Chains A and B, each alone.
Chain A
Amino acid sequence: MEALFRNVRELVERAEKEEKLISEIMIEQEMLMTDRSREDIMIQMDHNLTIMEEAVEKGLKGVHSVSGLTGGDAVLLQAYREKGNTLSGDLLIDAVSKAVATNEVNAAMGTICATPTAGSAGVVPGTLFAVQNKLNPTREQMIRYLFTAGAFGFVVANNASISGAAGGCQAEVGSAAGMASAAIIEMAGGTPQQCSEAFAITMKNMLGLVCDPVAGLVEVPCVKRNAMGAANAVVAADMALAGVTSRIPCDEVIGAMFEIGQSMPSALRETAKGGLAATPTGKWLESKIFGGAVVGSGQ
Chain B
Amino acid sequence: MKFKSVFDIIGPVMIGPSSSHTAGAARIGRVARDLFGRQPEWAKVHLYGSFAETYKGHSTDVAIIGGLLDYDTFDERIKTSFEEAKNAGMSFEFIPETGHVDHPNTARIVIGDAKSEMSMMGISIGGGKIEITELNGFPLRLSGNHPAILVVHEDRSGCIANVANCLYKYDINIGHMEVSRKEKGHMALMVIEVDQNVDKEVMDELRKLPNITQVTRIAD
Hey, which bits of chain A sit against chain B, CB under 8 A? 1, 3, 6, 26, 29-30, 33-35, 41, 44-45, 47-48, 51, 65, 67, 105-119, 121, 124, 146-147, 149-151, 153-154, 157-158, 161-166, 171, 179, 213, 215-219, 269-272, 289-290
Contact = CB atoms under 8 A, between A and B. Distances in A.
A3 B17 contact: no
Contacts, number: 159
Interface residues of B, number: 39
8 contacts: A35-B195, A45-B10, A111-B15, A150-B7, A162-B127, A218-B18, A270-B104, A271-B53
Contact of A150 (B4, B6, B50, B53): B6
Contact of A161 (B19, B53, B126): B126
A112 B14 contact: yes
Contacts of A150: 6-7, 9-10
Interface stretch (B55-63, B86-94, B156-164, B179-187): B55-63
Contacts of B59: 109
B125 interface: yes
Contacts of B119: none
Counting chain A CB atoms within 10 Å of each CB, the highest count among B18, B22, B104, B125 belongs to B18
Given A157-B3, A158-B3, A271-B53, A165 B17 contact: no
Given A110-B15, A165-B20, A216 B10 contact: no
Interface of B: 1-20, 22-23, 50, 53-54, 56-59, 74, 76, 79, 104-105, 125-128, 195
A119 B54 CA distance: 14
B16 A106 contact: yes
Counting chain B CB atoms within 10 Å of each CB, the highest count among A114, A124, A157, A179 belongs to A114
Contacts of A153: 9-10
B44 to A, nearest CB: 22
Contacts of B16: 105-112, 118, 121, 218
A194 to B, nearest CB: 21
Contact of B8 (A48, A157, A163, A179): A157
Nearest to B126: A163
A212 B16 CA distance: 18
Contacts of A67: 57
Contact of B7 (A1, A44, A289): A44
Nearest to B1: A158
Given A26-B6, A150-B10, A153-B9, A111 B76 contact: yes
A217 B126 contact: no
B53 A216 contact: yes
A162 B9 contact: yes
Counting chain A CB atoms within 10 Å of each CB, the highest count among B2, B58, B105 belongs to B58
A30 B6 contact: yes
Contacts of B125: 163
Contact of B13 (A113, A119, A179): A113
Given A114-B128, A161-B126, A119 B57 contact: no
Contacts of A119: 17-19
Nearest to B17: A218
B3 A151 contact: no
B12 A114 contact: yes
Given A163-B126, A290-B57, 9 more contacts: A26-B6, A29-B6, A34-B5, A111-B14, A114-B14, A114-B19, A118-B19, A218-B16, A289-B57
